[in-house]
Every structure is written in C-alpha cells, then in structure tokens.
Amino acid sequence: MSALKVGVVGTGNIFKSAHLPAWLAHPEIELTAFCDINQERATRLAGEHGVPYVYEHYQDLIAREDIDIVDVCSANLYHSEIAVAAMQAGKHVFCEKPDAVNPEEALKMQEAASASGKVLMVMRNNRFRPISRFVKQYMDEGHAGEVYTGRCGWIRRRGIPGKGGWFTTKELSGGGPLIDLGVHYIDLALWFMGNPRPVAVSGATYRKFADNSLSDSIHSSFGEKQEDGTFDVEDLASGYIRFENGATLQIEFSWASNIEAETQFLELRGTKAGLQMINNDVKVFTEIAGALCDIKPNLPKEKTGGHAENIHHFIDVVQQRAEPIFVPSQGVDMIKILTALYQSAKSGKEVRL
C-alpha cells in the first residue's frame, strides 16, 4: 500500500507537540509539505524531519496533486477557510480544534465534506484517553442509569497562551478559554450523555488578568506572545446548558484565576451511579448490596493525551477500516453552543437554540 502524503498548514507548538509525533509514528504516512507564514520556523522543522517542500501560502500546498491529507493547525479564524479549500481540492482534512469561529463557518466545513466525499475530522483527543473510553462504555451499558445533570471545566491558575498574539485576539481566535478549552470538556460531557440536543444556554465571561504576566502552566507556552499586543477575549467563562431531555450541564473554563491549582474536571450524576473525572483519575459513586460505594477503576496509564490515537483513528477512517467516532455535525452543534454562550454573556440573558 502506498503511503498517504500529508501537507501541514501551521507548524507552531500545537503541531509540534501533538500532531507531528502522531504522523511520524504511523507507517502509512509520509510528511510531504509544510506551510506557515513563519517561513523560518517551517523551513527549520522541515529540515529536521526530511520534509521536502515548504510554502508560505496554503493555496500552493493544496494545489499539489500528490497531497492526500491536509492537517490544519492555523489560527482558529482560518480553520474553515483552509479546510473547505482542501476538501474542494479533493483532500481529506484533519483539523485542530475548535472547528471554526462561528456556526456558519462550521456548517461550510460540514457541507464541503458532504459534497466532496472526503473525510473531515476535528481534534477530539480526549475521547481517546483510557479514562474517557471507560466512562463512555460504562454509560453506554446503562450502569449510570438516567444521567440528568453534570458539570465540567478546565481552570488554570495562570496559563494564558500566546498573550498578545492570535490566542488573545478575538478576531483570530473567536474567544478565550471558552472556545479554547471548552471544546474539550463540553464535547466529552455531551458524548458521554449520548449527544442530547441543547435547547438553551446562559453564560458569563470575565477579563481580569490581561495585565498579569505570571505563569505556572506549561500551556502558556502555546502560541507566540507579543508585547503590547491585543487582549480582547475573556480569561474566564462560566455557564449553564439545558437539553431537550431535561438534563443540564454547568461549565467553567479559565486561563487565569486565583485558585489552588490547574484542574480539568468532569462530573456526571445518574440515577444508578455518578462518575467523576479529575485530571487523569476517574471514580464511580454507586450503591452495591445496600451500601454506598466508591470505585476507582484500574485503567491503563495515560500516554499521549489521546492526540496520537485520534489521528491514527482518522487514518483508519480514511483507509475505510473504521467508522468515524466524530462527525462534522457534532462540530456544528459545538460551535452553536459556544457562540450562544458568548451571546448570552454579552446580553445578560438566556439564549434559546
């Protein structure tokens, strides 16, 4: 079987740390071309990994007839533009999250995938972590009963990425931690709950640390900082989502807060059992033989954060060996939720979906 040739648009930290190792580890993949407005960075990285072609403009990369897959790791604003152009040119697309900066752009991606017949997948790496797979199977087998409410979040003490650059510029990013981190855990919660249809959201956003330069999170190294750059996004968002089946979900995401430590969490409460994920641990709270019981499953050790598994699953789908765990319509629904939360925060009112 001939190798699938991959072209990459955006060679910054998320590509180097999460995407690149996954592509390099797969025997069916050949990295063929890099594209980045930072030509020095792209050329250096291409030289380190034997990638023969480097471009400044993504249109030149997509025009190559030998490219089978385009990996999109650009600023959020350009995800849809690049993905749609790549699919229209007959390429499969793997895209870093978030799917897009608004529902209209996410819908364009879904429509391009449908029209082209090409595979479009957006990073949902947390679905592939051992703890997530355990929770999903536990829920699908009905052990939790009716799951009627939950809460999730990713809160940092000090971890603003690329301060002053595109991460903190709303026009380029679409928002702050809500769109940056919220994609991960809102997606997991909905996936575990069986993707119930959201009907209303309420949200609030805050920007209190724009002038603070302290950092205690490795995640603050993502993006490129710019002195005296733009910071017009929130650094904390909270909210509440109601679903058609009566279930609810509380959310909180922050890049900076006066808390004890950075924490990722997801809690779901069911009539038979509740589940709690905190960082890399999961616990089940239930009743057994008339007694309240706390159960800590013995799961495989976390290795890659799910990034490699997600990309390798994408390759399996492209090669028609697997059905996709993620489909574009789920991305459209996600961006609708995030956009409505921002609208609610601005208006101070609940937004119906």
Distance CA 250, CA 245 (A): 16
Distance CA 347, CA 203 (A): 9
Structure tokens at 245: 């089946």
pLDDT-derived band at 222 (thresholds 50, 70, 90) equals confident
Mean pLDDT score of the chain, rounded to an integer?
96
pLDDT at 219: 87
Q: Are 183 and 335 in contact (CB under 8 A)?
A: no
Structure tokens at 197: 């249809």
Q: Is 261 left (phi over 0), alpha (psi -120 to 50) or beta?
A: beta
Distance CA 207, CA 176 (A): 9
Is the pLDDT score of 99 beyond 90?
yes
pLDDT at 353: 94
pLDDT at 188: 97
User: Count H helices, E strands: the chain?
Assistant: 11, 15
What CATH fold (topology level) applies to the domain 4-122? Rossmann fold (3.40.50)
pLDDT at 286: 98
Per-residue model confidence as pLDDT tens digits over 8-55? 999 999 999 999 999 999 999 999 999 999 999 999 999 999 999 999
Distance CA 181, CA 98 (A): 9
Helix (H) or strand (E) holding 184: helix 177-192
Is the pLDDT score of 1 beyond 80?
no
Q: Are 95 and 124 in contact (CB under 8 A)?
A: no
Name the least confident of 154-158, 172-176, 301-305.
Answer: 301-305
pLDDT-derived band at 212 (thresholds 50, 70, 90) equals very high
Is the pLDDT score of 302 beyond 90?
no
Q: Please report the sign of the dihedral spanned by the C-alpha atoms of residue 323, residue 325, residue 331, residue 336.
A: positive
Domain layout of the chain by residue ranges: 4-122, 126-307+334-352
pLDDT at 74: 97
Q: Do domains 4-122 and 126-307+334-352 have the same CATH topology?
A: no
Peptide bond into 98 cis (omega under 30): yes
Is the pLDDT score of 98 beyond 90?
yes
Helix (H) or strand (E) holding 81: helix 79-88
pLDDT at 224: 84
Instruction: Select from 3.40.190.10, 3.10.450.40, 3.30.360.10, 3.40.50.880 the CATH code of 126-307+334-352.
Output: 3.30.360.10
pLDDT at 162: 92
Helix (H) or strand (E) holding 335: helix 328-347
Q: What is the DSSP letter of 303?
A: -
Average pLDDT over residues 119-147: 97
